[in-house]
Amino acid sequence: MQLYSTNNKDLSVSFKEAVFNSMPQDKGLYMPVQIPRLDQDFIAHIEQYSLPEIAYKIASTLLKDEIPEKDLRALIEDAANFDAPIVKLDIKTFVLELFHGPSLAFKDFGARFMSRVMAYFLKDGEQLLDVLVATSGDTGGAVALGFLGVPNTRVTILFPKGKVSEIQRLQLTTNGENIRAIAVNGTFDDCQSLVKQAFADEELNSKFRLTSANSINIARLIPQTFYYFNAYAQLKQQGFNAVVFSVPSGNFGNIGAGLLAYKMGLPVQQFIAATNANDTVPRFLETGVYETKPSVQTYSNAMDVGAPSNWVRIMDLFNEDQAAICKIVKAYVFSDDETLLGITEIYSKYNYIACPHTAIGYLAAKAFAAENPSNEAANVFLSTAHACKFPDFLSVAEPLPEQVSMLHQKEELYTELEKDFEGFKKYLAESGLKI
């Protein structure tokens, strides 16, 4: 598998190099030189396969000879060892539950796959791998659990102080071992900017072996395609051949993975980008002008991104053609008040408990269905996190899973920093010898 930079299509690197370097020096993002299509016979009979079988088919098609078959199968079976079920709410409405992994968020798919790929490629005696992560809520917890205890790695997670839920914070700050947490006095965009500046800093790169576990890393994007294909397989078992996916969107890695699956042959009728007040992409789709703005805090905090990194990948997938993107992607924006009403409506109508992000996905799916009443496709909205992570917004108590209830018994360890890069660079330099 060869990859190029979105800023330089003449660049060509291997999958291993893209995984460890995560971001080209020209500040683009890595994309496959070729996006292979899955064979039609596999798609036609996809309902006969399990999630690990589907995941192996996709990964082996993309990665080809990067990892031997036996090793790749073992890696996938270890990484994707939890379910991603679709739950039927009414005759055409389904929710795709992506929170059954260890951190209770969809990010577990990408984080577990990536950590195992990196561990596979790492050799004894190699320089310590420093993984830098910016999180708006769920990425950090998934990465922390995915990399916890992985030899020869150290993870540094940056999160916006006071802008993640209590459970999300505890998932970042109670791990110890090779996991470090930094509370940044700023927004997620500030955290993301610090990470990107670190990758572009020659002095830091000469001292440390830096890589990212954010969705800018191609190893995060690939495994997120797995659950789109698996959802389609489950829908086919229920008699559906057409599907509309409504995706809660912040940094646009999740819907970017769905669009990559679409390019690989997944028969999707429509993707819906469901957003909160951070509406950079919806404004672009409407006006053709891509203009980022500072992120604002909302109840759906994991989507509080004003400058979504992965949008450049989506533009690249469609050769910068806004009209082509608009044919397959439609966007809806919802306020905090509407989000709360959505949480209440899902529970009263379906007896289903949803987090704020899931509620926005539901509202967007509902809006699209209302505009297309004759559409026979299955309407699937993605549930990206377990509702227990957001107790302040629930009208009914959600029982705590064991891995969450145990967090309150652990000691929190984290460092506070301002949002200036020099302070972050000094932290990295001074703590470089500490494990």
For residue 253, what are the contacts with CB-CB under 8 A and spacing of at least 6?
110, 215, 220, 221, 224, 309, 310
- Report the alpha-carbon angle 13-254-352, nearest 5: 160
Task: Compute CA 45 distance to the chain's CA centroid, rounded to the nearest angstrom.
Answer: 27
**What are the CA-CA distances from residue 258 to residues 28, 163, 308, 387 (Å)?**
20, 27, 16, 23
At residue 180, φ and ψ (nearest 5 deg) are -120, 145
Residue 167, judged by CB atoms within 10 A of its CB (0-12, 13-18, 19+), counts as buried
Residue 389 falls in the annotated catalytic set = no
Tokens encoding 142: 């998934």
The answer to whether residues 263 and 221 touch, using CB atoms and an 8 Å cutoff, is no
Altogether, the residues listed in the chain come to a count of 435
Tokens encoding 260: 């990559």
User: What single string gives the DSSP state of each residue in 107-151?
Assistant: HHHHHHHHHHHHHHH--TTPPPEEEEEE-SSSHHHHHHHHHTT-T
**What are the CA-CA distances from residue 250 to residues 23, 35, 160, 318, 360 (Å)?**
19, 24, 15, 20, 12
At residue 171, φ and ψ (nearest 5 deg) are -65, -20
The single residue of 57, 88, 107, 327 carrying the catalytic annotation is: 107
At residue 182, φ and ψ (nearest 5 deg) are -130, 125
User: What single string gives the DSSP state of each residue in 234-297?
Assistant: HHHHTT---EEEEEE-SSSHHHHHHHHHHHTT---SEEEEEE-S--HHHHHHHHS---------
To which H or E segment does residue 396 belong? none
Residue 232, judged by CB atoms within 10 A of its CB (0-12, 13-18, 19+), counts as buried
Between strands 2-5 and 30-32, the pairing is antiparallel
Tokens encoding 396: 């009914």
- Residue 245's nearest CA partner among 264, 258, 233, 260 is 258
SS3 356: helix
Buried b (16+ CB within 10 A) or exposed e, 376-391: ebbbbbbbbbbbbbbe
Q: Which residues are catalytic?
A: 107
